[in-house]
Structure 1
Amino acid sequence: MDKVGVAVIGCGAWGRNHLRVLSELKGAKLVAASDINQEVLRMVKEKYEIQVYTDYHEMLKDKEIEAVTICTPSSTHAKIALDVIEAGKNLLVEKPMTITVEEAKTIIERANERKVKLMVGHIERYNPAVQRVKKMIDEGRIGEIVLISSKRVSRWPERVGDVGVVRDLAIHDLDLMRYITGAEPTEIYAVTGSLKHKYEDHANIILKFNSNPTGIIEANWITPKKIRELTVTGSEGRIVADYITQEIRIENSNGVYIPNTQYEEPLKRELENFINVVLGIEEPIATGMDGLIAVYLCELTLKSSKTGQPIKVEGIWNK
């Protein structure tokens, strides 16, 4: 196939970003979109000149559609993903993949049975700043990694309504600490609380690995200024990365070095990877198993915060 026929389920703020990027990708042909809001669909149809549906089940009957991205509220991901898989379509599910571990396991099992490609939208893996940091760590540029800390804070986003700050924000960094280190955490301790919202709106999380490093995550919806920052401390230096500007700063005994960088849209890189996976020319950077483990780590984080105790991380990835 020259181009992958693709559709989007959920045309809210993030879904519209998917539509925009997919319409621009050389390897993709944007075929259709689905949403429960008819006014949103009217605007989508007018802008992209594609078929639109209020019922995604009807859309999935279209044989031209080979791949689907799911951008609906988190609590709906499991059911929609299973329907997409049953229709034989390849899929990318936005994070969190599901609300529960059991739901995520079922999706992976069904995708394997139906032989469809499954990816999860852990977009920060595609951030050029993260890629640079990972490369420097792998090359030993700052020695043995001792500490990885992240700050992901901002005001309450109105678009979020069915999950708290752990599953919406901290999940990025729970996933990235596995990705950057290439190691699995062995223990989680978390303190969360809610000042203004139904779900937890602030969280502080400590991740312990077998030896080094230690991971520290701060996430909240109560900080006036939006900050997205990663700091990696090693035995021979430190790297600080800004997720928003994609700039990195390297500090060691010789001074401070700030490499020249060029901004690239992480979502474009993510959706390019998805299309190329469907075409069979790339491997996924964020797999269904990565999505499952992220959901599992979120569950343990919330369990630790509820019990006030550290929680051992079992090897779910080996099960």
Structure 2
Amino acid sequence: MSEPTTLRAGVIGLGAMGRNHARVLSQLPGVHLVGTSDPLVEDQHLSHGAPIHKTVEELVAQGIDYAVVACPTGLHEEVGLLLADAGICALIEKPLAHSVEAAKRLVEAFESRNLVAGVGHIERYNPALQSLRSRLTAGELGDVYQVVTRRQGPFPARIADVGVVKDLATHDIDLTAWVTGADYVSVSARTSRRSGREHEDMVVVVGELSNGTVVNHLVNWLSPLKERSTVVTGDRGCFVADTLTADLTFYANGAVSSEWETIRNFRGVSEGDMTRFAIPRREPLLVEHERFRDAVLGEGNDIVTLRQGLRTVEVSSAVLRSADDGSTVPTPLGS
């Protein structure tokens, strides 16, 4: 029997997210964290003992099978193209790139070389959303009418090169399309800048999906309350997913008849049973890395593809265009 393959991995960028990637990779079965790269970090405690190189080229020279790209968004294209040219697979943090054009170039670079590449939309691996998607796919909610997400909290000092749309709202755009299995066809948005920074720090989005579902996203960096909520309403009730606690709750439409004439004639819904599901709670980042490792080994394909990441960049760019001119912006399928 042959020995199991051990993949050689690297991490590019040792900010808050890069350090988490290094932590998981340093303990991931079947993977050896060969090294990291960051021009500003020297403390190997932050790389969990892995050598730190000043440049990406130095890391690549160590011989790696894949790399996690966790540097600032504006550098994703440059670093990704370098990895593709070197024949190295890549897990690129979200958003895939700073622009639609850059995202398209990354898709072409990796696809043309048949390299495994994915985008780090970590919410797909949250236990509550995994369970929600399975239940929607099984038809437990019936027809889906509406998806509402709320993602708000204080400003994270680590973010400097993008606004709240590309940093946070991309989570909601990706997870909404993923859990419903439908794509965005139009968006209308409003943004504001209340904290004196260059980029927007609040956005409200109203959109429509290809199956007619109406969506709404409220996202900001201006609230002392940290909230991560996804509510999906359909003809049998609604699901509420809290991704901070990984809780999923179902509120069923009531089926109790009433003798009160006024209420009986109202053709709506009433309050029914509430069910809070018991869900195994595994760390989403660990699950994401397990899935990507397996994909590199050719043993699975449960990753967020670059094309899916491109689509999220397209929709987020449409959100910003809508906010700029106050119009409803179509997002043609397959664009």
* TM-score, normalised with respect to structure 2: 0.91
Aligned-residue sequence identity (percent) comes to 33
Give secondary structure in 2 for the equivalent of 1:219. strand
Shift of 1:262: 2.8
Shift of 1:35: 0.5
> Residue in 2 aligned with 1:304?
322
One-letter amino acid matched to 1:91: A
One-letter amino acid matched to 2:306: G
Tell me the distance in 2 between the aligned counterparts of 1:129 and 1:260.
Answer: 10
> Residue in 2 aligned with 1:118?
117
Shift of 1:88: 0.9
Of 16, 19, 26, which residue of structure 2 is paired with 1:13?
16
Question: Any residues of structure 2 matched to 1:169-208 within 5 Å, and which?
Answer: 169-196=168-195, 197-208=197-208
Q: Which has the higher helix share?
A: 1
Tell me the distance in 1 between the aligned counterparts of 2:52 and 2:138.
Answer: 48
Shift of 1:43: 3.2
Tell me the distance in 2 between the aligned counterparts of 1:70 and 1:175.
Answer: 19
Tell me the distance in 1 between the aligned counterparts of 2:303 and 2:114.
Answer: 18
Tell me the distance in 1 between the aligned counterparts of 2:237 and 2:139.
Answer: 10
Instruction: Give the aligned length.
Output: 313
Shift of 1:113: 2.1
Shift of 1:114: 2.1
Moved more, 220-229 or 210-219: 210-219
Moved more, 7-16 or 259-268: 259-268
Contact 1:81 1:91 in 2 (8 A): yes
Question: Any residues of structure 2 matched to 1:207-246 within 5 Å, and which?
Answer: 207-246=207-246
Q: Deviations over 1:21-62 (max 9, x none)?
A: 01111121111110011434x4346x42x3320011121122
Shift of 1:246: 0.4
Give secondary structure in 2 for the equivalent of 1:244. coil
* TM-score, normalised with respect to structure 1: 0.95
> Residue in 1 aligned with 2:54?
54
> Residue in 1 aligned with 2:86?
87
Q: Which runs of 5+ in 2 are unaligned?
A: 255-271
Structure possessing the higher radius of gyration over alpha carbons: 2
Shift of 1:213: 1.1
Tell me the distance in 2 between the aligned counterparts of 1:104 and 1:152.
Answer: 24
Give secondary structure in 1 for the equivalent of 2:42. helix
Tell me the distance in 2 between the aligned counterparts of 1:189 and 1:263.
Answer: 35
Go from structure 1 to structure 2 and tell me whether the alpha carbon gap of 1:284 and 1:139 turns closer, same or farther (over 3 Å shift).
closer
One-letter amino acid matched to 2:206: I
Q: How large is the RMSD of aligned CA atoms in angstroms?
A: 1.3
Contact 1:94 1:122 in 2 (8 A): yes
> Residue in 1 aligned with 2:257?
none
Shift of 1:183: 1.1
Tell me the distance in 2 between the aligned counterparts of 1:227 and 1:31.
Answer: 36
Question: Any residues of structure 2 matched to 1:279-290 within 5 Å, and which?
Answer: 279-290=297-308
Does 2:273 align with 1:271?
Answer: no
> Residue in 2 aligned with 1:43?
45
Tell me the distance in 1 between the aligned counterparts of 2:71 and 2:203.
Answer: 24
Question: Any residues of structure 2 matched to 1:149-188 within 5 Å, and which?
Answer: 149-188=148-187
Shift of 1:284: 3.5
Shift of 1:116: 1.3
Does 2:309 align with 1:294?
Answer: no
> Residue in 1 aligned with 2:267?
none
Tell me the distance in 2 between the aligned counterparts of 1:212 and 1:144.
Answer: 10
Tell me the distance in 2 between the aligned counterparts of 1:32 and 1:211.
Answer: 45
Give secondary structure in 2 for the equivalent of 1:264. coil
Give secondary structure in 1 for the equivalent of 2:217. strand
One-letter amino acid matched to 1:77: H
Give secondary structure in 1 for the equivalent of 2:118. strand
Shift of 1:195: 0.3
Q: Which runs of 5+ in 1 are unaligned?
A: none
Moved more, 50-59 or 292-301: 50-59
